Structure 1
Amino acid sequence: MIVAFSVAPSGGDAVESDGGMSEAVAAAVRVVRASGLPYETSSMFTSIEGEWDEVMAVVKAATDEVAARAPRVSLVLKADIRPGFTGQLTAKVDRVDEILR
């Protein structure tokens, strides 16, 4: 399964400047990186690939990191649930790139 998620602080000092928001988001990304699961981070989402329980545990831990820095948290989540398939984080993009060549 691939989960694309965005977690951000809302309210309080964490969002008063871009630096505050960036620090909270960096704390969430640090959790993703430490998980050992395949991931990609872009300007709007982090995508992570793995089994349901392990991916959701990472999303929860990342959200908890942001919640520790802000009184309110926004979480957007999109999942591609396809049992039996792995390596799709890059394979899906590779298939499109191949068509575009």
Structure 2
Amino acid sequence: MLAEFSITPIDKAHGHLSEYVAKTIEIIRQSGLPYELHAMGTIVEGEPEEVFSLIQKCHVNMRQHSLRVSTSIKIDDKVGTTGALYKKVKSVESKLDQGGSG
């Protein structure tokens, strides 16, 4: 399962959020799941139970720093697929390397 998520401390939104993002990324690193940080969120890959548990930990952690938290989650759950975090990007890049033909 791939899950892209972002967790925003709404009452801190007027300032810089990198401090809070860093706390979340540390939790993700400790999980051992493959992940990629992007400008608008983070993508993790793992078994559904692992991914949901991780997102919950991250959300609960943010609640320690904020009175109001917004969590957005987008999931791609394809049975039997592993390594999709990198395979999907490589597939598109290979098409670009071939001149964009499909």
Find the aligned partners of 1:26 and 1:32 in 2 and give their Cα distance: 10
- The equivalent residue for 2:61 is 65
The answer as to whether partners of 1:7 and 1:73 remain within 8 angstroms in 2 is yes
Aligned residues: 97
Deviation at 1:24, TM superposition (A): 1.5
Find the aligned partners of 1:84 and 1:7 in 2 and give their Cα distance: 28
Specify the SS of the correspondent of 1:26: helix
- The equivalent residue for 1:75 is 71
1:55 counterpart = 2:57 = no
Find the aligned partners of 1:70 and 1:45 in 2 and give their Cα distance: 18
Q: Which consecutive unaligned segments of at least 5 residues does structure 1 have?
A: none
Output the aligned Cα RMSD.
1.0
Selected match of 1:23 from 10, 19, 23: 19
1:53-82 CA-to-partner distances (Å, cap 9, x unmatched) read 000111011111111100000111000010
Determine what percentage of the aligned residue pairs are the same residue: 36
- Which residue type is aligned with residue 99 of structure 1? K
Query: Normalised by the size of structure 2, how large is the TM-score?
Result: 0.90
The structure that has the greater radius of gyration is 2
The answer as to whether partners of 1:2 and 1:81 remain within 8 angstroms in 2 is yes
Find the aligned partners of 2:20 and 2:61 in 1 and give their Cα distance: 7
The answer as to whether partners of 1:25 and 1:66 remain within 8 angstroms in 2 is no
Query: Normalised by the size of structure 1, how large is the TM-score?
Result: 0.91
Find the aligned partners of 2:77 and 2:26 in 1 and give their Cα distance: 24
- Which residue type is aligned with residue 72 of structure 1? R
